[in-house]
Amino acid sequence: MAARRSADATGAPGASGASGAVRARVPVERRQFNLVLALVATTQGLTKHELLSTVHGYAERYAVAADRDNLERQFERDKDDLRELGVPLETVAPPGAEDDTKQQRYRIAKERYQLPEDVEFSAEEYALLTLAGQVWREGSLSEHSRRALVKLRSFGLSVDAQELGFAPSIGTRDPAYDPLAAAIDRGRQVSFPYLKAGHGEPERRRVSPLALVNHEGRWHLQAHDELADGSRTFLLRRIVGAVRIEDAPARPAAPDEAARAAAELQRVWERTTALVRTTSGSEADVVLRNRAGTEVEPVAGGEGAEALRIRTTDLDVLADELAAFGAGVRVLEPETLRTAVLDRWRAVAVAHG
């Protein structure tokens, strides 16, 4: 994601129309798509005034004179983005007015903006591409992914909604995600306060962010720690303050950085286990028994007595989850996890008398 992403994705923060009503925010890819449609539909081209005053995503702000300068800068960025996509956006000026931006016209020649003749997508393939884009909410899309969606949509082919069925969505609730993704796109180092498990105070870390990986439903940052001079994996939920994007360039990431990080997290998950007993029929029993990788083991305590061997990448995070089940779960091993769960229960008891 580029540095400009936040402003582009939401429109002008806090702006409102002349009537005082707050304007609806138009996502950046939708605004750019509307711009493409307008430019493809014209043969003689449209002036900047005509585009800004009529295209959805610009027109709502064009009525506010104080917002014109920001709007024109946004329009220039959108033009650059579309050209980076390979969209043949042309600028045409009347003879003798080449330097007059008010008279310049913009257009996209249809004959230059088509899929190559040897490339075809079936309706099912378009549906899958669209579904893949819908799975990720705006905050999760990289700059290149968002631009790819704009280009796919601008081809103008319709897809039957029934072919899409329903689209799951992957959200990004960790506040650190967006600035980290922006830093990766820009190739910049970042710094942030990080609270390690078992520590009372956060440490300031400065790293080259390399990849963001989702494992067990939680986001992790694969990075090179600049102070420790080594590869590290950070759990985003433990970043307890603002992420600051530094001016220093980040170390380059390997092409398979995300895949390698995911594989390492998987290895940690496979070897980090806990043994717990659950009350039959309880929420803990249902949830943990159906957790990925759970195995049932016989234990002492009478005929048919059993416990659940569960896997995790982080025992401290698991302690939070197990403590929430209350009396429905009892930790057998490791002892460090048992102690951590008891500590959480004691803290609740103290907080609530």
Q: What's the mean pLDDT in 249-257?
A: 89
Q: For domain 272-351, give the CATH number.
A: 3.30.70
Q: What's the mean pLDDT in 343-348?
A: 92
Show contacts of 337-344: CB within 8 Å, 24+ apart. Answer: 337/274, 340/315, 340/316, 344/319, 344/320
Position 63 scores a pLDDT of 75
Distances (CA, A) of 131 to 87, 134, 153, 155, 166: 23, 5, 12, 16, 8
Position 68 scores a pLDDT of 80
We find that the CATH architecture of domain 177-268 is: Roll (2.30)
User: Cβ distance 211 to 219 under 8 Å?
Assistant: no
The pLDDT of residue 8 is above 80:
no
Predicted confidence (pLDDT) per residue in 33-80, tens digit: 888 888 887 777 888 888 888 888 888 888 776 678 888 888 888 888
CA–CA gap between residue 101 and residue 132 (Å, rounded) = 39
Q: What's the mean pLDDT in 103-131?
A: 71
CA–CA gap between residue 72 and residue 58 (Å, rounded) = 9
Per-residue pLDDT band at 343 (split at 50, 70, 90) = very high
Sequence-distant (≥ 6) Cβ neighbours of residue 312 within 8 angstroms:
216, 269, 272, 273, 274, 318
Give the SS3 label for residue 92. Answer: strand
Residue 299, both tokens: 């234990």
Q: Which residues in 268-305 are b (16+ Cβ under 10 Å) and which e?
A: ebeebbbbbbbeeeeebbebbeeeeeeeeeeeeeeeee
Predicted confidence (pLDDT) per residue in 165-200, tens digit: 444 545 556 889 889 988 988 889 999 999 988 788
Percent of the chain with pLDDT over 70: 75
Predicted confidence (pLDDT) per residue in 264-309, tens digit: 999 999 999 999 999 988 888 988 988 888 999 988 877 778 999 9
Cis before 27 (ω within 30): no
Question: Could you give the angle at the alpha carbon of 175 between the alpha carbons of 172 and 176, nearest 5°?
Answer: 95
Percent of the chain with pLDDT over 90: 31
CA–CA gap between residue 211 and residue 324 (Å, rounded) = 31
> Cβ-count burial of 28 within 10 angstroms (0-12 exposed, 13-18 middle, 19+ buried)?
buried
Position 97 scores a pLDDT of 67
Position 346 scores a pLDDT of 93
Position 146 scores a pLDDT of 56
The pLDDT of residue 315 is above 60:
yes
Position 244 scores a pLDDT of 94
The pLDDT of residue 134 is above 70:
no
Position 107 scores a pLDDT of 87
The terminus-to-terminus CA distance of the chain in angstroms comes to 47
Per-residue pLDDT band at 114 (split at 50, 70, 90) = low
The pLDDT of residue 117 is above 50:
yes
Higher pLDDT, 250 or 65: 250
pTM, to two decimals: 0.54
Residue intervals in the chain for CATH 2.30.30: 177-268
Residue 321 one-letter amino acid: E
Position 4 scores a pLDDT of 33
Residue intervals in the chain for CATH 3.30.70: 272-351
CA–CA gap between residue 69 and residue 113 (Å, rounded) = 30
Residue with tokens 């997508």: 121
Position 98 scores a pLDDT of 67
Show contacts of 230-234: CB within 8 Å, 24+ apart. Answer: 232/207, 233/261, 233/264, 233/265, 234/194, 234/205, 234/207
Predicted confidence (pLDDT) per residue in 10-29, tens digit: 333 333 333 333 345 677 77
Q: What's the mean pLDDT in 129-137?
A: 58
Give the SS3 label for residue 242. Answer: coil
Strands, sheet with 89-92, edge to edge from the N-terminal-most edge strand: 46-47, 105-108, 89-92
Position 303 scores a pLDDT of 72
Position 55 scores a pLDDT of 85
Position 64 scores a pLDDT of 73
Residue 183, both tokens: 């830093």
